[in-house]
Structure 1
Amino acid sequence: MHRRASSARPPIPAPVVDGGASPTGLREAARAVSHALPRSAHRTLTGQTHHAAPHALAPTLVGFFSH
């Protein structure tokens, strides 16, 4: 299947979240994804791992989707 170039970079806003206590590679991957998406918002959840607690993640998502 042939993909159009535009499908690789969705024009919609996208939250990209990582945990400050996650391994370095995961945090770097989150930053790379954020840089690759034109309308992303990157946030690091201090003290969280890649299994972020719902109470830590929820305010970030609510804030993102409220704008």
Structure 2
Amino acid sequence: SLLLDLIKGMKYLHHREFPHGRLKSRNCVVDGRFVLKITDYGFNELLETQKSPFEEPPPEELFWTAPEFL
């Protein structure tokens, strides 16, 4: 089931101490074999950290932060 795929994927990331931080429905896609895949690991943020530290965070991130980042 899709829910089990999601649980397995998040468990895999957690055991490797890799925080996802952006888990939401639009970051979960289903492939042609009906297997759920987790996307958007925030690699853009890793690239963005190389820019000026004085830039404002995107508005959509002002109201929600993943618990693993607190």
Same-fold status (TM-score > 0.5): no
Q: Which has the higher strand share?
A: 1
Give the TM-score normalised by the residue count of structure 2: 0.37
TM (norm. structure 1) is 0.38
Bigger-Rg structure (1/2):
2
